[in-house]
Structure 1
Amino acid sequence: MTVRAKFRCDHINKADDDSYRTVNLFAVTDDSPENKSWSKYTPGGQLSMHISNPDAFSQFETGKEYFIDITPAN
Structure 2
Amino acid sequence: MIRAKFTCQQNILNHETQTAEVILTPVTTNPPNQENLLFWQATPAGNITLQITNPAASAQFSVGTEYYVDFTAA
The structural deviation recorded for 1:44 is: 1.8
Aligned to 2:20: 21
Question: What residue ranges of structure 2 are gaps of 5+ in the alignment?
Answer: none
How many equivalent residue pairs?
72
Gaps of 5+ in 1: none
Distance 1:69 1:37, change over 3 A: same
In structure 1, the partner of 2:36 is: 35
- Offset of residue 51 of structure 1: 0.1
Q: Which moved more, 1:30-39 or 1:45-54?
A: 30-39
Q: Is 1:48 matched with 2:49?
A: yes
1:42 Cα shift? 2.1
Shift of 1:29: 2.5
With normalisation by structure 2, the TM-score equals 0.86
- In structure 2, distance between residues paired with 1:39 and 1:70: 17
Give the AA of the match of 1:52. Answer: T
RMSD: 1.3
Partner of 1:11: 10
Question: Distance between the aligned counterparts of 1:45 and 1:68, measured in 2?
Answer: 13
Q: Which moved more, 1:64-73 or 1:30-39?
A: 30-39
